[in-house]
Amino acid sequence: MRRVLVVFLGTFLAHIAFAATPTPIEFSVDVMSVLSKAGCNAGTCHGNLNGKGGLKLSLRGQDPFADYHTLVFASRGRRVTVNAPEQSLILQKATGQVPHRGGARFRSDSKAYKLLKQWLELGAPPPSKDALSVTHLKVEPLQAIVRDPNDSINFKVNAVFSDGTSRDVTESACYEMSNLLARVDANGKVTRAKFGESTLIVRYLDQQVPVPIAFTESRSSFVWDEPAEFNQIDHHVFQKLRRLKVNPSPICSDSVFVRRAYQDVLGRIPTAAEARQFVHDESPGKRNQLIDSLLSRDAMADYWALKWADMLRVEEKVLDVDGVDAFHDWIRASIADAKPIDQFVRDLITGVGSTFQQPAANFYRANRDPSTRGETAARLFLGTRLQCAKCHNHPFDRWTQDDYYSWATLFSQLDYEVGENKRRDKLDKNEFVGDQTVVVSKQDEVRHPNTKQFVTPKFLGGKQLIESQAEQRLGSVADWVTSPENKMFAATQANFVWYHLMGTGLVDPIDDFRLTNPASNPALLNFLADEMVQSGFDLRAMMRLVMSSRTYQLASEPNQTNVNDEFSYSRVVTRRLPAEVLLDMQSDVLGTAAQFAGYESGMRAVQIPGVRRKRLRDERPNGGDRFLQTFGKPERILACDCERSNGTTLKQVFVLMGESLNRRLAEDGNRLQALVDDIDDDARLVDELYWTALSRSPTEVELSAALQMFRTEKRWSSIESVFQSPRTARLRVTEDLVWALLNAKEFLFRR
């Protein structure tokens, strides 16, 4: 058997040797582009981690040499038959002549087929080392607005090669849409499925270009409303809207604004008195005054610390309860003291020492190896997801595996001095108890998984670490990351603020800046990034800038022109409020505290430093804990905002209808009971409850329906007076009314 094989390979190699002279077909260009175009090396097919049906190609053709080997030599060369090209398995499979799970990819009269056949006829020549590479793609047009009645658009793609020549590759390039609003055919013709914005990704070999496309209604009679611009943000937003022939919604009402501003800055709603005062205030600059006064309140630091604590993995199992408290206090204090964001990030990157004494060192306590540290730093500070590049070059971005490990190794010179670590559960190796000291220590650089060689430390997409920087390696990393010249940093931090105030990032998800996920409004993102630098990385200045824009203050109700807008900020996005905010809002309306295992009563949900202070087996979770979990408070195991869930589920409704809220509605000494006793007049009582829960007066219909409830209940109790006093009757109606208020979409959603 072995001999046969050798003989076979021998004849085969002879063919290859014969074909090693220059040929009209270059494997790494011509053949690879056919394989990509047919989808053979897609992540869903043979480009998959495990391949498919026994054949594994490099993902999206990143490695022509490996693919050549796989196709020609692996599996005993059974995939190609140079003596009878048409018998080759790759052609028979791809055309569906033999069963192929992936179906027929092209026909036997197609160009793709002819090219592969020709390549085989030439003896399947290998990729040549000096083959031309593609330096860039020229796509025309580079962005587009397609107006009804037009519903499609064609693109032309030219590849420019390393020798300066270019070739029209419109037919052989690959096309994908970023969402389902449009579809694209094999020749790059994009056709609308729905009105809205989408991005076409054009790919040819290892080059990709994103092309933003907007499909709009014709709106021939469109008239721009000329809304007044409050600041530069509006300028950038409105420029885009005007181009799209979309008018923004009107400015929201005062009662919507006051609620929105409180929710976004403090994570709570105004009291009835605060809401009334603002709404009834006649002064013209009252919105900006409110923004300033909210930004100076203590509670702002509570709420914005929560956002950072989510991403910095402030969680008891790894940091210990004491570490959680120390780290959270430090994050909160950094925000309360208006520490510039660049300084805050510098402290994290250089944070070493005792994790109890030097809280920033908890960053490395939670991220325990160079890969994790590199990934987390890239994600949080540079808005970049590098994970893909751990195992293969990033399929949708420019990052290579080399970039990944060169960056990761910057974080390799760290070690831990672990004390006793008396785990409460000795089996649970995730758990670290007690203090730990993060120390800078001489360690090996990271090894590249393919070459097994130590890699050279390099800043992400930047230069090599030079000798003078090596000594204070973490300081040098911090210098590079937080430098005002580092656009990735400023843009990521600006986008973070924008996302939390507007509900959708200019780049979204916020930690996924990449070539193929461009900003929905690049000019605006640039502007905000510049402002971030100009302001000295001042969080409050950025918040003030965004909140004082007209764009932030728009209503959520759509008009005729912006009903389909999702990414252009022509109206405010409606979204379910975060778990902690919702629970605190309930507590504020009811005047009772929610209970959390391990905390004194009175703790607000947004102030909780960690995730689970008491292990489940030591103390059953309280109503408050269960609420937070059901509504999506993250476990803080991933350094990603995506771990927080703001989705809606049936279970959430069960929680809102269930025992625990019901008990709180009837709890002795809550606000409802006080209000029922203080306010004799039913109409006034209803008015107070509406202002407390919804920051507005009841409408006429609502008021009359509520009063009807009171009348019915009283009539009932006068008949059944034995069972129910008039006070009890009023209380019961109040509970039911407040339940309805707490379950109104207006309460549960930010709008």
**Contacts with other proteins in 700-719 (CB under 8 A)?**
701-702, 705-706, 709
Which one of the spans 132-140, 356-364, 540-548, 696-704 is the region binding other proteins (CB under 8 A)? 696-704
User: For 282-378, where are the E strands, in sequence order?
Assistant: 353-354
Contacts to other proteins from residues 187-206, by CB under 8 A = 193, 201
Q: Answer yes or no: are the C-beta atoms of 295 and 262 closer than 8 Å.
A: no
Per-position x/- string for 225-264, each x denoting binding to other proteins as judged by CB under 8 A, each - no binding: ----------------------------------------
**Cα separation of 29 and 37, whole Å?**
12
Q: By C-beta, is 40 or 477 nearer to other proteins?
A: 40
Q: Answer yes or no: are the C-beta atoms of 355 and 436 closer than 8 Å.
A: yes
180 binds other proteins (CB under 8 A): yes
DSSP symbols for 580-644 = HHHHHHHHHHHT-----TTS-TT--GGG--SS-SS-TTTSPPPHHHHHHHHTT---S-SSSGGGS
101 binds other proteins (CB under 8 A): yes
558 binds other proteins (CB under 8 A): yes
Per-position x/- string for 437-476, each x denoting binding to other proteins as judged by CB under 8 A, each - no binding: ----------------------------------------
Q: At what angle do helices 341-349 and 473-482 cross, to 10 degrees?
A: 150
Q: By C-beta, is 328 or 644 nearer to other proteins?
A: 644
Cα distances (angstroms) measured from residue 476 to each of 366, 500, 529, 562: 21, 30, 22, 47
Contacts to other proteins from residues 343-402, by CB under 8 A = 385, 387-388, 395-396
The structure tokens listed for 81 are 């038959």
- The gap from C-alpha 562 to its chain's centroid, in whole angstroms, comes to 24
Q: Could you tell me the smallest distance in angstroms from the CB atom of residue 120 to other proteins?
A: 28
Dihedrals phi, psi of 3, to nearest 5 degrees: -60, -45
- The gap from C-alpha 296 to its chain's centroid, in whole angstroms, comes to 28
748 binds other proteins (CB under 8 A): yes
Q: Could you tell me the smallest distance in angstroms from the CB atom of residue 740 to other proteins?
A: 4
Q: By C-beta, is 64 or 518 nearer to other proteins?
A: 518
User: What is the 8-class DSSP label of residue 570?
Assistant: S
Question: What is the residue type of 114?
Answer: K
SS3 content of the chain, % helix, strand, coil (to 5): 45, 10, 45
Q: By C-beta, is 32 or 709 nearer to other proteins?
A: 709
Q: By C-beta, is 542 or 742 nearer to other proteins?
A: 742
Contacts to other proteins from residues 111-150, by CB under 8 A = none
Q: Answer yes or no: are the C-beta atoms of 94 and 101 closer than 8 Å.
A: no
Q: By C-beta, is 20 or 653 nearer to other proteins?
A: 653
Q: Could you tell me the smallest distance in angstroms from the CB atom of residue 679 to other proteins?
A: 19
Which one of the spans 27-35, 68-76, 498-506, 569-577 is the region binding other proteins (CB under 8 A)? 569-577
Q: Could you tell me the smallest distance in angstroms from the CB atom of residue 430 to other proteins?
A: 5
Is the link from the previous residue into 578 a cis peptide, with omega within 30 of 0? Answer: no
Q: Answer yes or no: are the C-beta atoms of 627 and 579 closer than 8 Å.
A: yes
**Cα separation of 264 and 750, whole Å?**
9
Q: Answer yes or no: are the C-beta atoms of 152 and 189 closer than 8 Å.
A: yes
Q: Answer yes or no: are the C-beta atoms of 691 and 276 closer than 8 Å.
A: yes
Q: Could you tell me the smallest distance in angstroms from the CB atom of residue 183 to other proteins?
A: 6
Q: Could you tell me the smallest distance in angstroms from the CB atom of residue 571 to other proteins?
A: 9
Q: Answer yes or no: are the C-beta atoms of 511 and 641 closer than 8 Å.
A: yes
Q: Could you tell me the smallest distance in angstroms from the CB atom of residue 275 to other proteins?
A: 16
574 binds other proteins (CB under 8 A): yes
Contacts to other proteins from residues 595-624, by CB under 8 A = 616
Q: Answer yes or no: are the C-beta atoms of 551 and 237 closer than 8 Å.
A: yes
224 binds other proteins (CB under 8 A): no
Query: How many Cβ atoms sit within 10 Å of the Cβ of residue 463?
Result: 9
Contacts to other proteins from residues 269-328, by CB under 8 A = none
Number of shown-chain residues binding other proteins (CB under 8 A) = 82
Print burial letters for 114-153: b (CB count within 10 Å at least 16), e (below 16): ebbeebbebbbbbbeeeebebeebebeeeebbbbeeeeeb
Tokens 């090396």 found at: 41
Q: By C-beta, is 83 or 648 nearer to other proteins?
A: 648
Q: Could you tell me the smallest distance in angstroms from the CB atom of residue 725 to other proteins?
A: 16
Contacts to other proteins from residues 33-92, by CB under 8 A = 42-44, 48-50
Helix intervals (H) in 20-137: 32-37, 64-72, 89-94, 111-121
Per-position x/- string for 405-444, each x denoting binding to other proteins as judged by CB under 8 A, each - no binding: --------------------xxxxxxx-------------
Task: Please list the residues that pair with 749 across neighbouring strands.
Answer: 576
Q: Could you tell me the smallest distance in angstroms from the CB atom of residue 629 to other proteins?
A: 10
User: What is the 8-class DSSP label of residue 29?
Assistant: I
Q: By C-beta, is 207 or 350 nearer to other proteins?
A: 207
**Cα separation of 263 and 269, whole Å?**
6
Sheet-wide strand order for 414-418: 353-354, 436-440, 414-418
**Cα separation of 259 and 287, whole Å?**
12
699 binds other proteins (CB under 8 A): yes
Which one of the spans 121-129, 321-329, 722-730, 741-749 is the region binding other proteins (CB under 8 A)? 741-749
Q: By C-beta, is 203 or 307 nearer to other proteins?
A: 203
Which one of the spans 279-287, 488-496, 524-532, 631-639 is the region binding other proteins (CB under 8 A)? 631-639
Q: Could you tell me the smallest distance in angstroms from the CB atom of residue 748 to other proteins?
A: 7
Q: By C-beta, is 69 or 575 nearer to other proteins?
A: 575
Q: By C-beta, is 543 or 738 nearer to other proteins?
A: 738
Q: By C-beta, is 679 or 705 nearer to other proteins?
A: 705
Query: How many Cβ atoms sit within 10 Å of the Cβ of residue 539?
Result: 23
Q: Could you tell me the smallest distance in angstroms from the CB atom of residue 193 to other proteins?
A: 8
Q: Could you tell me the smallest distance in angstroms from the CB atom of residue 316 to other proteins?
A: 13
**Cα separation of 603 and 480, whole Å?**
39
556 binds other proteins (CB under 8 A): yes
User: What is the 8-class DSSP label of residue 464?
Assistant: B
Q: Could you tell me the smallest distance in angstroms from the CB atom of residue 421 to other proteins?
A: 14
- The gap from C-alpha 700 to its chain's centroid, in whole angstroms, comes to 42
746 binds other proteins (CB under 8 A): yes
Q: Could you tell me the smallest distance in angstroms from the CB atom of residue 651 to other proteins?
A: 7
Strands 182-184 and 353-354: unpaired
666 binds other proteins (CB under 8 A): yes
Per-position x/- string for 634-663, each x denoting binding to other proteins as judged by CB under 8 A, each - no binding: -x-xx-x-xx-x-xxxxxxxx--xxx--xx
Which one of the spans 75-83, 348-356, 447-455, 698-706 is the region binding other proteins (CB under 8 A)? 698-706
Is the link from the previous residue into 141 a cis peptide, with omega within 30 of 0? Answer: yes
Q: By C-beta, is 255 or 607 nearer to other proteins?
A: 255
557 binds other proteins (CB under 8 A): yes
Question: What is the residue type of 621?
Answer: P
Q: By C-beta, is 11 or 430 nearer to other proteins?
A: 430
**Cα separation of 229 and 307, whole Å?**
30
743 binds other proteins (CB under 8 A): yes
Q: By C-beta, is 355 or 652 nearer to other proteins?
A: 652
Which of 79, 576, 633, 671 lies at the binding interface for other proteins (CB under 8 A)?
Answer: 576
Q: Is 314 helix (H, G, I), strand (E, B) or coil?
A: coil
Contacts to other proteins from residues 479-508, by CB under 8 A = 508
